[in-house]
Amino acid sequence: MKKKKVIFFFLILGIISSTILILSWFIPSIETEGFRFGDKLLVIAITISLLIYYYSIKEKPQLMPSILSSEKDTSKEKDKPNVSFKDVAGLEEIKEELQETIDFINNSYKYKKMGAKIPKGILFHGPPGTGKTLLAKAVAGETNSTFLYASGSEFVEKYVGVGAKRVRTLFEKAKKEAPSIIFIDEIDAIGTKRNSESNNEKDQTLNQLLVELDGFNTNETVIVIGATNRIDLLDEALLRPGRFDRHIYVGNPNVRAREKILEVHTNNKPLDKSLNIKDLAKKTTGLSGAQLANIANEAAIIAVRNNKTIITVKEFDAAIERVLAGLELKNPNVMMKEKNIVAFHEAGHALVSKVLDVDLIQKISIVPRGQALGYVLKFPDEERYLLTERELFYRITGLLAGRAAEEYKFKEITTGAKDDLNKATEIAREMVCSYGMSSLGTLALDEVYIRYNYDSIRQEIKKITDKAYSEALSIIDENSEILQKLAQTLIEKEILDKEELDVIYNKYQKPFNYATT
């Protein structure tokens, strides 16, 4: 870049001097006495050479994703990730499933000789941070293939045709550098269902992607891996056989996978001998691989900050809280009145969750963290794949219990329940639209129906949340002594752990029957 600027500077000087020298041939009043004819020709020749040189080093226009163009000049070796399946913990079934693809790349002649067509498109779908990118890189690493990364959003452009051109460039590069893996992250950015309202540029980009998927792989060993969090939004044409026809769900890890992921991310760290990774895995139900990696890293950072030479369970607990609830505010400026409200709000959540047996509460805190003034740290106590209607309803009741406690105690509600309301509404919405758990019937509602009948859907959602809210209020009313005690202790100590909660709960507990939905 610096070289280009220097040349540009001399080029401008050259253009100005040459212009003056040329003009001096026609306008005698311009004096160029010191220059002989030969000197003038030399200056003009140098300027022309500079001009040609400047244009030869000028950057090519950006028509491919930035990540690709930045890789353009780097050596081929650099595109080959040194990640292997050893770095991907858990996910054993998925690794097994991918073995066939790996074998195809490593021994492609075997398949070609047999006239076998191997799936060229694999789609990873599932929640964020579960290792989709890592898996794709590992496939490239295991096969020593070139890894070409592109994010769907990089293809989305205002100008018609640019996205399509980028797709073409990406595939051209992949073919040139075969064997190669094209990884398109967030493929939903270009691959959502086409309809009359969709925009022309996006459709062109998607069409180009479909064309490219159809058009290669007779001789080239190129595999395309897409990743998305929303497979339901993808256009059917993209999922058709011959395109992304292998769908692999990459979900949040179970307890054994979490243990393995934590092992991978702690094996280069000095751990206290008494630290039990199995216990950590049990404490982190529902977390993704990325969150676990983050926890291991945070624990190391906290240990350094505390001048420790080994990482103990204390640092891991602090890291879990840091990752889940955000940064602890050191000198929060919370008024006493607010502290009271937050204490009752969190006590409400803890009490109702405990009564309804929703998740395992590990800690209640009113020390502000991130944007929250208080929080209840809880995990599901076991891996669950199926939830009953009643359990979903209880979850909503637990979420609304913070606001219910505020209303019960202060006869006034605050803005503190914003996040709870979002989560509760989302669960209720899923109950109505996806699980057929409302009076609208035992059916899943599609996007078009939802858009045009949102009023009736909203009424159903409201019925559920209203019922859950009054349930939360009545549980709080029945157990007001526990609420009072929990809130009081929170105001004094700011933090209550699982054991302290159990002591208070067991001491003031009353028998109550909540078997309603």
Separation between Cα atoms, residue 469 and residue 473, nearest integer Å: 6
Among 141, 226, 289, 398, binds ligand ATP (CB under 6 A): 289
Q: Active-site residues: which are they?
A: 346
Task: Please report how many Cα atoms fall inside a 13 Å half-sphere around the Cα of residue 481, on the Cβ side.
Answer: 8
Site for ligand ATP in 133-152 (CB under 6 A): 133-134
Per CB under 6 A, the list member of 129, 152, 163, 191 interacting with ligand ATP is 129
Task: Provide the mask over 30-69, with x wherever binding to ligand ATP is found by CB under 6 A and - wherever it is not.
Answer: ----------------------------------------
Does position 425 interact with ligand ATP (CB under 6 A)? The reply is no
Minimal CA–CA distance to 288: which of 107, 61, 131, 109? 131
Q: Which stretch binds ligand ATP (CB under 6 A): 105-113, 132-140, 187-195, 325-333?
A: 132-140
Q: Name the residue whose CB lies closest to ligand ATP.
A: 289
Rg of the chain over all Cα atoms, to the nearest angstrom: 31
Query: In the window 207-246, what residues touch ligand ATP (CB under 6 A)?
Result: 227, 229
Amino acid at 109: Y
Contacts of 21 (CB under 8 A, 6+ apart): 32, 35, 40, 43, 44
> Residue 261 or residue 432: which is nearer to ligand ATP going by CB?
261
Both tokens of 342, joined, read 């937050």
Kindly state whether residue 123 participates in binding ligand ATP, applying the rule CB under 6 A: no
Strands 146-151 and 180-185, by their bridges, are parallel
130 is a contact residue toward ligand ATP (CB under 6 A): yes
**With DSSP H G I counted as helix, E B as strand and the rest as coil, what are the percentages for the chain, rounded to 5?**
60, 10, 30
Strands, DSSP E only, in 301-449? 360-365, 375-379
Least distance in angstroms from the C-beta of 291 to ligand ATP: 8
Q: How many residues of this chain interact with ligand ATP, rule: CB under 6 A?
A: 19
Q: 93, 251 in Cβ contact below 8 A?
A: no
Residue from 21, 89, 138, 464 touching ligand ATP (CB under 6 A): that is 89
CB of 183 to ligand ATP, least distance (A): 9
- Residue whose CB is less far from ligand ATP, 134 or 399: 134
Dihedral over Cα of 107, 109, 112, 113: its sign: negative
Of residues 231 and 482, the one with the C-beta less far from ligand ATP: 231
**Which residue in 140, 145, 135, 141 sits closest to 96, CA to CA?**
135
Q: Which of 8, 39, 86, 128 binds ligand ATP (CB under 6 A)?
A: 128
**E strand or H helix at 151, and its extent?**
strand 146-151
Q: Which is nearer to ligand ATP, 87 or 338 (CB)?
A: 87
Q: Cα separation of 157 and 165, whole Å?
A: 11
Binding site for ligand ATP (CB under 6 A): 88-91, 128-134, 185, 227, 229, 261, 264, 289-290, 293
